[in-house]
Amino acid sequence: MECDDCVRRLDQLIDRELSGLELEEVQHHLDGCGDCTKRYKFEEGLKRLVKVSCEQGHAPAELRERLRQILR
């Protein structure tokens, strides 16, 4: 696998959407390629940053209370 093929699959890799032979091939390439590994780590870190940034905060208490009434 060439770097281009690996980079093209990075979205799927960080989203855990690769499996089987394709996953093995990407992992094999990453084992031997520092450039792609750094890129992979960066993209993965960015995905994590997006998640963590958006996960802060809770639904307002009054909304939760209204929903309890609705769902009763």
Partner 1 sequence: MAVAAYAQIDWMPMTTVPDGQDAFAAEAITHLDALYRGALRLTRDPDQAQDLVQDAYARALRYQHSYQAGTNMKAWLFAIMRNLFWDRFQKGRPPALSIEDVGEFSLYDRMRDGVTEEGPEDTVLDRIAAGEVVEAIEKLSPLHREVVLLVDVEGFAYKDAAQILGVPIGTVMSRLHRARQHLQKSLYDYAVESGIVPGMGRSA
Task: Say how far residue 9 (Cα) sits from the centre of its chain.
Answer: 12
Beta strands in the chain (DSSP E): none
When CB distances are held under 5 to 8 angstroms depending on the partner's kind, the choice from Zn ion, partner 1, none that residue 21 binds is none
In angstroms, the CA 59 to CA 2 distance is 46
When CB distances are held under 5 to 8 angstroms depending on the partner's kind, the choice from partner 1, Zn ion, none that residue 36 binds is Zn ion
Residue among 23 and 33 whose Cβ is closer to Zn ion: 33
Measured from the Cβ of residue 13, the count of other Cβ atoms closer than 10 Å reads 20
Report the interface residues with partner 1, using CB under 8 A: 11-12, 15, 17, 38-39, 41-43, 45-47, 49-60, 63-64, 66-68, 70-72
